[in-house]
Amino acid sequence: METFTKEEIRDIIVSVIALIIIFSWKPFPRFGLNLDLIPYFIVIILVAFLLHEMAHKWMARKFNMAAHYKMWPQGILFGLIFMILGLKFVAPGAVVVYPYRFARWGFRRPYPEIASGEMGLIALAGPVTNLFSALLFSLFDSFLFNQLKFINAWLAFFNLLPVPPLDGSKVLIWKPWIWGMCIAVALILVFI
């Protein structure tokens, strides 16, 4: 199995650039990119977004499933439109876990054999990575660390919303108490 396809690398690069623009945008009344913040948001997006998506991919691979990041062009478009209004809508794409896993000799086993616990853990991996990062970065006090904490907490909260296809819908079906605990921590971190 390939680790990353060319299309996946392209989709990740486009998504990262879109997120940097979205988070660096100055809302009304002074529209435009805040060029001073772009270097910070390059670091922040690379840490928060990439770790989130790679956690999903890593967990799927632990269960011997194929997983690739796919860009969602409509999500990027919505993000850019909401950005102009001063809102941060972040849904540039997702790691798609393919409905099969590879068995011993490389043949595919169908989706029904994949336990809901495995899908729950795959969905939980991204938000938990963001929550752990937000808690870690909250130990430090600077603009960069405060933004790293906030954006990691925001990505965890947003992805834990119980709306399909977001991670929260899968985690809630799998273990409601884990979902409740994680979204509570995310809310606390977002509003502190």
Burial label, 104 (beta-carbon count in 10 A; 0-12, 13-18, 19+): exposed
Instruction: Determine the Cα–Cα distance for residues 138 and 63; give it in Å rounded to an integer.
Output: 32
Amino acid identity of 32? Answer: G
Task: Name the token pair of 107.
Answer: 């043949």
- Residue of 2, 7, 8, 53 with catalytic role: 53
Residue 53 is among the residues annotated as catalytic for this protein = yes
Task: Spell out the SS3 assignment of 36-98.
Answer: CCHHHHHHHHHHHHHHHHHHHHHHHHHCCEEEEEEECHHHHHHHHHHHHCCCCCCCCEEEEEE
Q: Which residues pair with 71 in a beta bridge?
A: 93
Catalytic residues: 53
